[in-house]
Structure 1
């Protein structure tokens, strides 16, 4: 079974939702048969690359709230993150354009290191006093995830590198009707929106698995004559 997850590194519910999905997956009996693929989605695609600023004022402006209300919103998200054992700084974080991060995630996917880079990017953005929108920080976490520094720098220097892959993910999200993230798609048959509780993911995985491997139905009415461990039935 394939599970595709559309997310953005700037989305706190994607960070929390990933942890909850992984808990739900761990409780799924056929977890070893599940392929997880991470897809790109930009929450703020129109933001210029150099436009990086603190999260709290951005939230206040975006949602029409006061600074104190925006801080309360972040404190609520932080409480949810901490409940999942995740680090979270409710204040002092940056917000910016995530296109370069998505491009590097596609490079990491091609090198078999996507999950490692995604985890480090989330942790850096939400739990550390460093800005993931700083190019040198991004290079550092990519190398820590197992990528080759020269290749990482070459991708960042070439704005077209893996850009097509990011845009294709975003086109697919639009075609599937996803206008918010995280968005989980199970075998292109079931969709789950938002950072749901772990048990919701486990139930959804069970349902999707049963749909792809339905229980055997015996046709032909009553059992006919057959042989078993105790011998063969003799027709009357």
Structure 2
């Protein structure tokens, strides 16, 4: 069974959702027969490369809030992340264009190191004092994930390298009706939006495994945190 996950490194609910999905997958009896593929989705594709801004300031401008209110919004998301055992810095993070990150993740996919690079990039972005919008940081993360430094450097230097792969993922997301991430698709039969609890993923995996004759995409799960194509991130209602 294949699980495809559309996400963006700038999306906190993608970071949280990945951890929750992995907990659900670990509890699934047929986990060794599940292939996980990460696909690209940009939250801020119109932002120019190199144009970064502090996350708190960006949120304050976007939502018309004070800086204190924006920090409180981030603190709420941080609480969800920390409940999953994830590091999360409310202050000191940047927001920017993620196209180069996605291109590098496609190189990592081709070399069998995609999940390793994604995990390292999430950690650098949300938990550490490293900006993933800096090519030097990205190159270091690529090498840490097991990629060849010269090959990764060449991809970062060529804006067209793996660009078509990123755009193809984004077209597929639109065709599937995914307007927000994280978005999980199980064997192209079941769709799950948002960073759902681990139990929801377990139930969805079991349902998809049992019902492998379905052909239409069915939405599973209730309200959960997502980030949409406008870059807005929502906290799920209780």
> Structure 1 length normalisation: TM-score?
0.89
Q: What are the ranges of 5 or more consecutive residues in structure 2 without an aligned counterpart?
A: 215-238
How far off is 1:65 after superposition?
1.6
How far off is 1:17 after superposition?
0.2
SS of the equivalent of 2:49 reads: coil
Matching residue of 2:53? 53
SS of the equivalent of 2:192 reads: strand
Aligned positions of 1:102-113 closer than 5 A: 102-113=102-113
Matching residue of 2:164? 164
Matching residue of 1:99? 99
SS of the equivalent of 1:90 reads: coil
Distance 2:21 2:50 in 1: 33
Matching residue of 2:3? 3
Structure 1 position 130 matched with structure 2 position 130: yes
Distance 1:61 1:25 in 2: 38
Matching residue of 1:35? 35
Q: What are the ranges of 5 or more consecutive residues in structure 1 without an aligned counterpart?
A: 215-236
Aligned positions of 1:54-93 closer than 5 A: 54-93=54-93
Distance 2:86 2:201 in 1: 19
Matching residue of 1:185? 185
How far off is 1:213 after superposition?
7.0
Distance 1:158 1:88 in 2: 32
Distance 1:62 1:44 in 2: 12
Which 4+ residue blocks in structure 1 deviate beyond 3 angstroms? none
1:147-182 Cα shifts (integer Å, max 9, x gaps) = 001001100111000000000000000000000000
Distance 2:61 2:208 in 1: 40
Matching residue of 2:22? 22
Matching residue of 1:145? 145
SS of the equivalent of 1:43 reads: coil
Distance 1:213 1:48 in 2: 44
Cα RMSD (Å) of the superposition? 1.0
Instruction: Specify the structure having the higher radius of gyration (Cα).
Output: 1
